Structure 1
Amino acid sequence: MSFSNAMVTGGKIEWAKLTLNLFKSDEAEYETGRAVVWMEMLNNGQKPKRWNKPTKKGTGVTFTALKDHKEYEVAIGELQGHINVINKEYDLNIKLKTN
């Protein structure tokens, strides 16, 4: 059986370190972790579609597969928008570095 034409078009990932406990104890740290996870997902060709509420087990993220570089650039812009919001809200200084 050959899977050479198979392609992942989406799915769901559970990020175990982004827990409800972290969210309740340090929202800024949770949001920083969320930004790091978001960047990691984009670098793996995954665009977050929906972030579930944090639970004791972590935060679930539904994603779609990025189709091309243009879609990646748009997704980076969305991440930068989120970073701008959390920088302002939590007085952070997160900078997004892309190649």
Structure 2
Amino acid sequence: MDSLPLSDDRSEIVFFDVETTIPEQGQPFAILEFGAILVCPRKLTELRNYTSLVQPADLSLISEKSKQCNGISREAVENAPTFADIAPAVYNLLHG
């Protein structure tokens, strides 16, 4: 596979990751953590980073299986911002 050339106007690239619940049958996924790093693609240096735990609308979605998988407990996110709270920061980072 040929790699795509970097355009000259691309001064930043972002890599992001989310941690979610491990839902039981029929349950939805819920985001528990969002993290991102902004990198200069020419120098491969970190320009900025962002991470936040995220409180899901329903704390009961965080099962023991979910906690074992990602280490995030109900107690860890009960006072965290909701995704709606962090959405402007996430948008600005991704669309900077």
TM-score class normalised by the smaller sequence? under 0.3
Name the structure with the higher strand share. Answer: 2
The structure with the greater share of residues assigned to helix is 1
TM-score when normalising by structure 1: 0.26
Q: Which has the higher contact order (CA 8 A, sep 6+)?
A: 1
Between Structure 1 and Structure 2, whose CA radius of gyration is higher?
A: 2
